[in-house]
Structure 1
Amino acid sequence: MSARIGVAVMAVMLALYIVLVAQRGWLLLVNGEPIGVAMGVALFVLPVLAAWGLGRELWFGWRAQQVGRRLEAEGALPTESVAVRPSGRPLREEADALFPAYRSAVEAAPDDWRAWYRLGLAYDAAGDRRRARAAVRRAIALERAEGR
């Protein structure tokens, strides 16, 4: 639940930032000076990009949670546990030991969204966030295609 609160706080702060930057952009646009107009346009483009990025990340989190809940309802979530340090971070050696089984499951069934989601969890436990997100994105795409 604390992660959701953190996401909500960050989303509100980014939205406030977007509004404030857009306000400054508008003031520069109506100034009429060429440099001010150019800076005003840039200040409108940047918040649009920020809003797009925020929307995309929130959508990813929501869809990943849906897919995870579906997998949990099917009783197909990984059952292995990985020991964690006092800081809460998993012991990488234990996570790395579990990884080959999930990788081979994906290699055996590359169109199985369940295998991809479990692989994403294994990457996450090993601390490889970039690959974890890529695997979960693949799982989301495959799960969506299966539903059609």
Structure 2
Amino acid sequence: MTSRTGFFALSGVLALVALICVGEGVQLVATGKPLGIGLGLCAFVIPVIGIWFLRQTVRFGRDSERLARELEAEGGLPVDELERTDGGRIDRASADAVFARRKAEAEAAPGDWRVFFRLAVAYADAGDVPRARRTMQHAIRLHRTTGADTTTSGAGSPVSKPARSNA
């Protein structure tokens, strides 16, 4: 199953759960009992949180794809230069070497969204998905505020050593 197919399947499930929660919430509020009303109101909040999360996820995906397309048009997408094991897994030493280069690039140009995009890819290759996501969000913020201009400073930029997963 591709990522998009899985995303749409889970989005459909979220919509179904939201409808069920709202229906149950209406029934609980209709009981007229204080506990039922309280639980019913909580049942209205759950779909709102789920829909907000879905919106944020869609926005992140759309924004990161837009940055990737722009970087590809400039010829600046990171090239897959990682060595792989016989089983196809990324070699840790290779990922560490690429990460060190990307980190140095990000520290040298803290206001350039392009280097943070490439650093996010290096984090993902190193198996540190949470930092990859935070770094990509930083690249998106830099792109929004500076666009193609890279003269501003990116204070508080998320550059640190990646945490390794055993997967």
Q: TM-score, normalised by structure 1?
A: 0.92
Deviation at 1:83, TM superposition (A): 3.8
Q: How does 1:123-138 map to 2 (within 5 A)?
A: 123-138=123-138
Specify the alignment match of 1:76 in structure 2: 76
Structure 1, residues 108-148: CA drift from partner, whole Å, max 9, x if none? 01000000000000000000001100110011111111239
CA distance in 1, matches of 2:60, 2:49: 16
> As a proportion of its length, which structure holds more helix?
1
Change in CA separation of 1:7 and 1:139 when aligned onto 2, cut-off 3 Å: same
CA distance in 2, matches of 1:18, 1:86: 45
Specify the alignment match of 1:119 in structure 2: 119
Deviation at 1:86, TM superposition (A): 7.2
Deviation at 1:84, TM superposition (A): 4.4
Structure 2 residues not aligned, in runs of 5+: 149-167
Q: TM-score, normalised by structure 2?
A: 0.82
For the aligned residue pairs, the C-alpha RMSD in angstroms reads 1.9
Change in CA separation of 1:87 and 1:3 when aligned onto 2, cut-off 3 Å: farther
Structure 1 residues not aligned, in runs of 5+: none
Contact 1:92–1:127, Cα closer than 8 Å, also in 2: no
Alignment length (residue pairs): 148
Q: Identity of paired residues, percent?
A: 39
Structure 1, residues 22-76: CA drift from partner, whole Å, max 9, x if none? 1111110111111110100111111111111111111101111111111111110
CA distance in 2, matches of 1:133, 1:87: 26
CA distance in 2, matches of 1:54, 1:12: 11
CA distance in 1, matches of 2:45, 2:88: 39
Comparing 112-121 with 64-73, greater Cα deviation is found at 64-73
Change in CA separation of 1:118 and 1:87 when aligned onto 2, cut-off 3 Å: same
